[in-house]
Amino acid sequence: MTAPLPGRRYTEHMAVPAVAVTTAPLSLEAVIDVVSAGGSASGAVASFSGLVRDHNQGRTVTFLEYEAYVPLAVKGMERIVSEAGETWPGVRLALHHRIGRLDPGEASIVIAAAGAHRADTFSACRYAIERVKQIVPIWKREHFEGGDVWLEGATADPEDEAARAQALRVSCA
């Protein structure tokens, strides 16, 4: 991944990639454009934005700090695109994850899935966010009033078929 230039959106100076890990503000429109490119064969685009909440577990969140093992995070996201393509043939998927400091209300992730039929695009979009939380080496530290804490979720293992089955299940696949 090319590092973005300071102070510019990454969409201004590069062809938008299907997957990206970037410190720049995210654009849902950018990932929608990626999956919509190539004509009018798609009848449906499902999309998702994950936003920083101002409260979590009763704490007032001041900001989040995201960190990634970037080369492996990009590979993990590419793997998710590939898994989705195998599970829902013809569906195109794009996802961008932001890292660095994020204030409440800012998007930490944007995802878009386009295809001929809506069911597959909803499933692929939901699958992508579930898999990001399972296998992509990105971490967030929550800064709240009175302290900060690293949040820890799933032990990342792309080969864990039980985790993948769980992601498929909640995706209504």
Partner 1 sequence: MRVTVRLFARLRDLAGSGELVRELEEPATVASAWRSLVDEYPQVAEYERIMSVAVNADYSRMSAAVRDGDEIAFLPPVSGG
Name the site residues for partner 1 (rule: CB under 8 A): 50, 66-69, 71-73, 75, 97, 108-109, 129, 132-141, 150-159
Using rule CB under 8 A, residue 13 touches its own copies: no
CB of 116 to its own copies, least distance (A): 7
CB of 40 to its own copies, least distance (A): 4
CB of 71 to partner 1, least distance (A): 4
Task: Name the burial class of residue 173, with classes exposed (0-12), middle (13-18) and buried (19+) by CB atoms within 10 angstroms of its CB.
Answer: middle
Partner interacting with residue 154 (select from partner 1, its own copies, none; CB below 5-8 Å by kind): partner 1
Which amino acid makes up residue 124? Answer: A
Using rule CB under 8 A, residue 55 touches its own copies: yes
Give me the sign of the Cα torsion angle 75, 80, 85, 91.
Answer: negative
Binding residue (CB under 8 A) for its own copies from 46, 124, 128, 135? 46
CB of 158 to partner 1, least distance (A): 6
CB of 80 to partner 1, least distance (A): 11
Cα(126)–Cα(110) distance, integer angstroms: 11
| Radius of gyration over every alpha carbon of the chain, rounded to an integer in angstroms | 16
**152 Cβ contact partners less than 8 Å away, ≥ 6 residues apart:** 139
Using rule CB under 8 A, residue 119 touches its own copies: yes
Q: Quote the strand ranges of 34-117, DSSP E.
A: 44-51, 55-56, 59-68, 92-98, 100-102, 107-115
Partner interacting with residue 126 (select from partner 1, its own copies, none; CB below 5-8 Å by kind): its own copies
**Per-residue x/- marks for its own copies, 125-164, CB under 8 A?**
xx--x-----------------------------------
CA distances from 62 to 147, 148, 165 (A): 10, 10, 35
